[in-house]
Structure 1
């Protein structure tokens, strides 16, 4: 087999693996996976919002996932580490899955879009663009784009600071596609800084830094699983499904453009 075919095969297997992980640990808020081959085996870093769901009771989740990766996807000696996402609102894949879940529950697409825009911008994004397409309101396919903030669309800055992901959801009307692009402030390297900003940074640097990240090692049948958690993070929901149910109640208070126009009439 030629080198080109090997590359195509590896990329295809990685695509299947990520699709499987997106569905298997969906309730844990799966964002993305970093896969790297080492002399000992294959290292798989799973970035999720709730590491406890991935690990499972007494490591049952990790054990099942490891066996699945080894048998179905041919990964040699997979070593799984779980990393908690510090800001889920800035992860496009997480927000795509949440918005898709809202649409599955029957929420109006514009209401779900406005809620997602609000959550992302409040999470500290520089800009966001949500594109939703499919059979939104009738038999004909259509698409809508909603943008807020500053979002580079082309050039070097767009490649560096903009992350995007796509999700699909089946509704009663048909298949709907969701594409979210998020521009993150922390990835942007400023060309110059004001003197006041430099003084503030120097004052913050003198203060003792707070430990936000905690690394734990859990033994599962003799093997050590690395878990990276974010300290000081409080969330009442124990899973993504519970969070979506809580958000659905809050979304009822949001008024869409159609409702605002109806009031004006």
Structure 2
């Protein structure tokens, strides 16, 4: 067999293996697998959110999985290690699976999308983009794309910073595809400066000392109901409504 055919066969087997692991250890929060060949066999590192489910009681689960990989996927002497993921919300594979589970349970696709987006950003992501496509509301296929934060789109820096994954889920309306791209701050390229918005400061009089001091916008409190309404009005104007985003996509 030529070298090209060997590469194609190995890639195809890795694709089948990933699909099998995604379904077999779904309850353990499977993210991805790192496979490397060693002189003594094949080393397989499984990255999951709950290692105990993979290992099983007295190691029964991991022994059965080892036998399965050796017999069905022809891995020579597989040596499985389980690695726990620190922040599951920053793993595209885990979040794709969670969002797919929400859709399978009947959650509205837009509610599931916004919830996933919020969870990823609240756990320290630099940026996220969620694309959902398929028969979302009717017989005709459509897609929606939601983005938050800073997400490089192309180039070397996008390859370094951004991780992505794709999942498919069967619903009553048909097949729906989910694509999640997450940019992580800890992989930020040093030669670029990540600028954060600074809170605006203004001078106020300290009631205790009588001296003027700086007060941030976050610390400012409305003294009257009129000021509270005015502050909220500015925030409401800055809100991006989903209906307006939907009109832009049409």
TM-score (norm 2): 0.77
Which residue pairs with 1:107 in the alignment? 107
> 5+ unaligned residues in a row in structure 2: which ranges?
195-240, 244-250
Structure ranking higher on relative contact order (CA contacts 8 Å, 6+ apart): 1
Paired residues of 2:134 and 2:175 also in contact (CA < 8 A)? yes
Distance 1:146 1:25 in 2: 29
Which residue pairs with 1:144 in the alignment? 144
The CA RMSD measured in Å over matched residues stands at: 1.4
Q: Deviation of residue 189 (structure 1)?
A: 2.5
> 5+ unaligned residues in a row in structure 1: which ranges?
195-255, 259-265
Paired residues of 2:157 and 2:189 also in contact (CA < 8 A)? no
SS in 2 for 1:143: strand
Which residue pairs with 2:43 in the alignment? 43
Distance 1:23 1:113 in 2: 22
Distance 2:156 2:45 in 1: 28
Q: Which deviations, in whole Å up to 9, do the C-alpha atoms of 1:185-208 show, x marking residues without a partner?
A: 1001322779xxxxxxxxxxxxxx
Q: Which deviations, in whole Å up to 9, do the C-alpha atoms of 1:146-205 show, x marking residues without a partner?
A: 0000000011210110000000000000000000000011001322779xxxxxxxxxxx
Ranges of 4+ aligned residues in structure 1 off by more than 4 Å: none
Which residue pairs with 1:52 in the alignment? 52
Which residue pairs with 1:229 in the alignment? none
Q: Which deviations, in whole Å up to 9, do the C-alpha atoms of 1:85-126 show, x marking residues without a partner?
A: 011011000000000000000000000000000000011100
Q: 1:193–1:173: structure 2 CA closer, same or farther, 3 Å change rule?
A: closer
Q: 1:193–1:97: structure 2 CA closer, same or farther, 3 Å change rule?
A: closer
Q: 1:167–1:193: structure 2 CA closer, same or farther, 3 Å change rule?
A: closer
Q: Which deviations, in whole Å up to 9, do the C-alpha atoms of 1:236-260 show, x marking residues without a partner?
A: xxxxxxxxxxxxxxxxxxxx946xx
Q: 1:175–1:192: structure 2 CA closer, same or farther, 3 Å change rule?
A: closer
SS in 1 for 2:151: coil
Distance 1:187 1:193 in 2: 13
Distance 1:126 1:160 in 2: 13
- Superposed, 1:27-106 pairs within 5 Å as 27-106=27-106
Q: 1:193–1:99: structure 2 CA closer, same or farther, 3 Å change rule?
A: closer
Which residue pairs with 2:236 in the alignment? none
Distance 1:131 1:98 in 2: 15
Residues matched between the structures, number: 197
Distance 1:161 1:53 in 2: 30
Distance 2:242 2:107 in 1: 15
TM-score (norm 1): 0.73
SS in 2 for 1:183: strand
Which residue pairs with 1:118 in the alignment? 118
- Superposed, 1:1-265 pairs within 5 Å as 1-191=1-191, 257=242
Paired residues of 2:47 and 2:83 also in contact (CA < 8 A)? yes
